[in-house]
Structure 1
């Protein structure tokens, strides 16, 4: 589900479809009275995507040493369009800067759509899909084996992010809550460097 190679630079609102990194299934409760995902939900998606990456790509520390805490110290989100239940959300994740004990994430969320596997074979290489898909085996919208892809746009336009932004994690000592004096663990740094994007 995650790319191991570097991502291309993430444009604020528009970028050609590169490798999607993860998919999220919206819940009915994510929508507000305006029938779209509430703004605060996008922050939850940002937090979920970054932590999913950390949990699945950073080796667990030894039991003798408590793991550092990753605290969010700032975040910003720009909203370009809305997403609504039951559409899935496709997230792209990058790292724009690495400090001694901090990381600045770049995140873009795109509206996706569920399609039957047969529908994907008809996608052409010139479409915004460029031949990639994500297997969806846990769909809450009926049907094991359906696929998730970027929602088709009119006129073959490149996919546009519904929301995009930055989030800063600082890794701190769990007792003092101060930044790690020796900086982040080399395994953590190596995992984050895999996602570095150009400014």
Structure 2
């Protein structure tokens, strides 16, 4: 037996199924896979080239969808001006995604957006990727932006008020 298999067997032998089921109260926050968790939605048409050799959207493509819904919201609702030399620049400092169900072309996905944390110069987004009309996300991902000065790339001292106001509109608790 290999070392990893032996270790897994040891761990399994020491676990005990208590049979206890923890129920969340109705006041618990909605699950991040639930459509109800998200505050803003953007439909995105999948493309033939999004599919991989297995016939479903490749995992790397979901990061494009996540980036698209975030930046669309920042430009439309938060006064982000990407071509401006005075507008702060959002640099991604961390990202993640969890995959639950495949999606395939020619599906239309709906990218749901919520903000989970607003700092002085940083913002953390959560994005659910839903196949149109479905209640549970196929993918839940997100990332954290640190907004920096365009010239020296140092974090800004505070988010511009119009930007922060737009972000607060989709902040979840």
* Structure 1 residue 176, shift from structure 2 partner: 1.1
> In the alignment, what sits opposite 2:154?
178
TM superposition outliers: structure 1 runs of 4+ over 6 Å: none
Unaligned runs of 5+ in 2: 1-27
* Counterpart-to-counterpart distance in 1, 2:170 and 2:46: 25
> In the alignment, what sits opposite 1:84?
104
* Structure 1 residue 91, shift from structure 2 partner: 1.3
* Structure 1 residue 88, shift from structure 2 partner: 0.3
Q: How many residues align?
A: 145
Per-residue deviation, residues 129-185 of structure 1 (Å, max 9, x unmatched): xxxxxxxxxxxxxxxxxxxxx14xxxxxxx1110002210111011111101x2110
* Counterpart-to-counterpart distance in 2, 1:68 and 1:19: 24
Pair 1:15–1:90, CA change in 2 (3 A): closer
Pair 1:88–1:17, CA change in 2 (3 A): farther
Task: Judge conservation of contact 1:70–1:169 (CA < 8 Å) in 2.
Answer: yes
TM normalised by structure 2 equals 0.76
Task: Judge conservation of contact 2:86–2:150 (CA < 8 Å) in 1.
Answer: yes
Q: Looking at both structures, which has the greater relative contact order when contacts are Cα pairs under 8 Å and sequence separation is at least 6? A: 1
